[in-house]
A and B are shown apart, each in its own frame.
Chain A
């Protein structure tokens, strides 16, 4: 679930971190079980979901990677909550 239009920034971030965490955990598992077909299908699905959550956050809140920062009149990369800061 990429999240709907009523979700707050921290709710959308929770979706992103859950999706990426699931992906990371499957990634490590596959490193030592490279031919586990069930896990491969799970990774495929997790990867699509993570991308959707990531894009939804970027669109609604602020860019999570510099490459997707908007270059209008202002450097959008500075916007948002950096890791040392608390999300409201």
Chain B
């Protein structure tokens, strides 16, 4: 089960407003390589894991990703707080405002709504962990893309942190894969 804790993994404190940057960062909320897909992927795949270390790692990383989803939602909220229709339009994201106003909606930066088609659950521990390692790299690459555009240090510091976590997760999944493969031999 899950118990909510009233805090984020690191504090989210964004002082400037920027609806356009918010719409880019939203991709890590509900986009193809975002945190919602990551958490659902791991928390779903864990049911078919056979080894305790696999069940534990997918549960623990899936839980951390849920926390990251919340951090992304917080960044988007703070970047758009109090901004109205005219501001969204001026920043070139009037289309987002028309559909969702200041709401946080799980979609990609290009506006495609979240889809479970972004992930798999194959009941094959090796296939699933291989997918997870690729997923961590794709999420890391998306954070790299955000860092290429963001010029707000409040945002950039958090994105760098989240990027680092993807690298740690990739490392742990790699170790898990080694453990699973050594059991097969």
The docked-state distance in angstroms from the alpha carbon of A14 to that of B57 is 26
Q: Do A83 and B74 contact each other (CB < 8 Å), given the known contacts A31-B57, A31-B60?
A: yes
- The stretch from B1-9, B29-37, B109-117, B141-149 touching chain A is B1-9
Question: Which chain B residue shows the least CB distance to A88?
Answer: B13
Task: State whether the Cβ of A10 lies closer than 8 Å to any Cβ in chain B.
Answer: yes
> Which of B6, B9, B61 touches A28 (beta carbons < 8 Å)?
B61
Task: Report B126 CB to chain A, min CB distance, Å.
Answer: 15
* In contact, B168 and A28 (Cβ under 8 angstroms): yes
Task: State whether the Cβ of B176 lies closer than 8 Å to any Cβ in chain A.
Answer: yes
| Interface set, chain A 33-54, CB cutoff 8 A to B | 33-34
* In contact, B9 and A84 (Cβ under 8 angstroms): no
Which residues on the A side are within 8 Å of B131 (C-beta)? none
Task: State whether the Cβ of B39 lies closer than 8 Å to any Cβ in chain A.
Answer: no
* In contact, A83 and B12 (Cβ under 8 angstroms): yes
Task: State whether the Cβ of A66 lies closer than 8 Å to any Cβ in chain B.
Answer: yes
Q: Do A29 and B172 contact each other (CB < 8 Å), given the known contacts A17-B7, A65-B3, A83-B7?
A: yes
The docked-state distance in angstroms from the alpha carbon of A85 to that of B30 is 20
* In contact, B4 and A65 (Cβ under 8 angstroms): yes
Interface residues on A, range: 20 to 34
> Which of B7, B77, B176, B179 touches A64 (beta carbons < 8 Å)?
B7
Q: Do A17 and B11 contact each other (CB < 8 Å), given the known contacts A63-B6, A64-B5, A86-B78?
A: yes
* In contact, A24 and B64 (Cβ under 8 angstroms): yes
| Interface set, chain B 11-61, CB cutoff 8 A to A | 11-14, 53, 56-57, 60-61
* In contact, B3 and A28 (Cβ under 8 angstroms): no
The docked-state distance in angstroms from the alpha carbon of A33 to that of B56 is 12
* In contact, A84 and B78 (Cβ under 8 angstroms): yes
Task: Report A88 CB to chain B, min CB distance, Å.
Answer: 9
> Which of B9, B53, B77, B78 touches A20 (beta carbons < 8 Å)?
B9
> Which of B6, B77, B169, B175 touches A65 (beta carbons < 8 Å)?
B6
* In contact, B7 and A16 (Cβ under 8 angstroms): yes
Task: State whether the Cβ of B70 lies closer than 8 Å to any Cβ in chain A.
Answer: yes
Which residues on the B side are within 8 Å of A14 (C-beta)? 11
Task: State whether the Cβ of B106 lies closer than 8 Å to any Cβ in chain A.
Answer: no
* In contact, A28 and B13 (Cβ under 8 angstroms): no
* In contact, A27 and B60 (Cβ under 8 angstroms): yes
